Amino acid sequence: MKSLYYFSPTKLKFVEAKNILPIVISLFIIFTLIFSGTLFGIYYVFNPESQVYILKSRNNTLKKELILLRERYTEFSNELKKLADKNNELRLAVNLEPITLEDRNIGIGGSIFEFMQPSNANEFSVFVSMIKEDVENITTKLNFEQENYAVIKRKLEQNQKLFDALPAIKPIEAAYSDDFGMRIHPILKIPKMHYGLDFVANIGTPVYAPGGGKVIFAGSKPGLGRTVEIDHGFGYKTVFGHLSEFNVTTEQNIKRGYLIAKSGNSGGYSTGPHLHYEVRHNGIALNPQNFIFDDINIFKNSELQKNPI
């Protein structure tokens, strides 16, 4: 091999190039790699079979993700059904009618989630539309149950107010006398409706509010003498007659168990010391005994006046 020379600027003369073969080989290898990489890149881009392979790989990954999505969708649907069943139990607990399956599905399609393996763009588009529709359906069902729960919550709160207001205890610690219903009037001696319940009690026996409410009357009435009337809301009102003294004033808000008056013998139709007690709902007289829990004696609580319930 002939010797190769190159001009050296430092020596200002031509110098023989030594060990040139390793350099040439290295350059050849580098240029070969660059050329091969470029050629492979062109093949990778323009070769349809390589693109198919990539698409197949991506498709397999997508199928796995769709299978996982279907499993999660099924789990979510089952949990939503449990929520609907629990909401129906809560509706019964708060005295609401349960929602039937037909009512729950009005305007809501059933589950149409069916797993398929799209083989072309059209089938894939159809499958995506199915998923979208199912997501919309289950979102609608979830919103329905959320609204249903809100109704239950409002009813529960209303029930709590109702339970606090209902005339549910004996207003006085005394024995029953005349019952609610038709009777021979003790003074007039003719059949006459008795719209309340009488308790035999000495003058000055404490009379308690049977439920929370507002005092709407505290004064005298013909026949009943000194009378207190309480509006409990929800259409309920109680009347206490023949009292000897008041412990409340009109417009006063009271709770169940609050001392409102003391029994007496006032009024023209009183035949002796007793309490006349009425319960009315929307103006209609009801049997007060139906609102009294005789098995519960709240009068044993010496703190009743201090802590009305």
Mind spelling out the 3-state secondary structure of 42-55?
HHHHHCHHHHHHHH
Considering the domain boundaries, does residue 186 fall inside one? yes
Considering the domain boundaries, does residue 59 fall inside one? no
pTM comes to: 0.58
> Is residue 146 very low, low, confident or very high in pLDDT (cuts 50, 70, 90)?
confident
Q: What confidence tens digit (pLDDT) does each residue in 54-85 have?
A: 666 776 777 677 777 777 777 777 777 787 88
Same domain, 230 and 280: yes
Same domain, 89 and 185: no
Q: What is the mean pLDDT of residues 35-54?
A: 56
Query: Quick one: which H or E segment has residue 215?
Result: strand 213-221
Reply yes or no on whether the pLDDT at 6 is more than 50. Answer: no
Domain count, the chain: 3
Contact 254, 275 (CB under 8 A): no
CA torsion 182→187→188→193, rounded to 10°?
-20
Same domain, 186 and 160: no
Reply yes or no on whether the pLDDT at 3 is more than 50. Answer: yes
Rounded to the nearest integer, the mean pLDDT of the chain is 75
Same domain, 118 and 191: no
Same domain, 140 and 245: no
Considering the domain boundaries, does residue 56 fall inside one? no
CA distances from 153 to 87, 124, 215 (A): 10, 43, 29
> Is residue 87 very low, low, confident or very high in pLDDT (cuts 50, 70, 90)?
confident
Of 110, 135, 165, which residue constitutes the final position of a domain?
Answer: 165
Reply yes or no on whether the pLDDT at 302 is more than 50. Answer: no
pLDDT at 303: 43
Q: What is the mean pLDDT of residues 264-293?
A: 88
> Is residue 218 very low, low, confident or very high in pLDDT (cuts 50, 70, 90)?
very high
Considering the domain boundaries, does residue 309 fall inside one? no
Note down the domain range covering 288. 175-300
